């Protein structure tokens, strides 16, 4: 699985003008299931993100996790993280998991974050979403559960 993790002071996702998820301080996680991914990878990625130390401690060093800060997580599915841009001008998305698998792993990932004790809001899988955020730092981290060519 792939994820783009952004430290935010607030974030919200809307679908057709209605809010489906909103958080204050915490993490916005754009997530994509790739072909061959499974539930174990969703769980592993959720654990890594929950413990990712990218929040400042009292000395101003990135030494605290979203768990440590009591923050929340907004999880948004984004299959375009699977984009292959190695050739041509149009990205290919054939390495993304099929929609039924992608949705199941997206839901599993969000549930695994909740199991860590985090408040989790979500977007709507497969929908045309609008995501608004205030990136804090900015801090943006790319994560992948496997090394891919």
Catalytic residues: 78-80
Q: Are 41 and 60 in contact (CB under 8 A)?
A: no
Q: Are 108 and 41 in contact (CB under 8 A)?
A: no
Tokens of 90: 């149009």
CA pair distance 4, 8, nearest whole angstrom:
12
CA pair distance 13, 28, nearest whole angstrom:
10
- Cα 100 to the chain's mean position, in Å? 18
């Amino acid at each position: 699985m792939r994820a783009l993790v952004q430290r935010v002071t607030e974030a919200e996702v809307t679908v057709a003008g209605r809010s489906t998820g909103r958080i204050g301080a915490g993490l916005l996680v754009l997530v994509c299931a790739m072909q061959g991914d499974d539930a174990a990878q969703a769980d592993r990625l959720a654990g890594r993100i929950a413990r990712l130390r990218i929040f400042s401690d009292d000395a101003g060093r990135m030494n605290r996790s979203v768990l440590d800060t009591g923050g929340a997580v907004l999880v948004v599915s984004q299959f375009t993280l699977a984009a292959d841009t190695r050739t041509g001008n149009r990205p290919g998305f054939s390495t993304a998991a099929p929609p039924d698998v992608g949705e199941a792993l997206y839901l599993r990932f969000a549930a695994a974050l909740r199991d860590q004790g985090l408040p989790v809001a979500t977007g709507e899988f497969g929908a045309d979403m609008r995501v608004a955020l205030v990136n804090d730092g900015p801090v943006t981290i790319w994560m992948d559960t496997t090394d891919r060519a």
